[in-house]
Amino acid sequence: MKKIFAAVGVILVLSGCAPAKLVPMSRPLETNQSTLVVYRESAFNAGGIDAVFGAAQQDWVALDTKSYAVLQIAPAPHEFFVRSTQADQPFVFKATVAQAETKCLRVFPNPGNVAKALLPVSYLAGNTFFLEETACPSAQTLAGFGKKTVTYAK
């Protein structure tokens, strides 16, 4: 019986949350920067879970359903990631951002999340969210989204 309780305890600990530890981004010089728009559309799948976006193992912004953030970044190759706050594996997306370019990334839930809702320990086995490069949504479309603030190091 003790082994069963121990196993249940381990599962509960492993399926615990990995909260976002948002850190300020480095702001590039105005003469050497690009813009990155990251947005998350409304979806029932993973709707109650924040998507944490960042790069270089740093959490920059947490997006809830139907929200976006505008980030000023240095033009360069980047390895962006998105993960949930549920101890899942980060999904890594490599993208090169050109000087003075505006690039848009869409965060969307993994269609296989149904298993995660039924068996929380399955968060450890895969990605909750994915990223893809898309055409930038119009200002009118983003007007219906909540804007998340990104902080920059001084």
Position 146 pLDDT exceeds 90: yes
As a whole-number percent, the residues of the chain with pLDDT over 70 amount to 75
Domain boundaries, the chain: 2-148
CB atoms within 10 A of CB 54: 23
What pLDDT is stored for residue 10 in this prediction?
41
What pLDDT is stored for residue 81 in this prediction?
96
| Residue (of 139, 137, 150) closest to 28 by Cα position | 150
CB 152 within 8 A of CB 24: yes
- pTM of the shown model: 0.81
Position 69 pLDDT exceeds 60: yes
Q: What is the pLDDT of residues 92-130, one digit of tens each?
A: 999 999 999 999 999 998 877 666 656 655 555 667 889
State the average pLDDT over residues 50-71. Answer: 94
How far apart (Å, rounded) are the C-alpha atoms in residues 55 and 17? 20
The per-residue pLDDT of the chain, averaged, comes to: 83
Position 30 pLDDT exceeds 50: yes
Q: Which two tokens stand for residue 15?
A: 């399926």
CB 115 within 8 A of CB 61: no
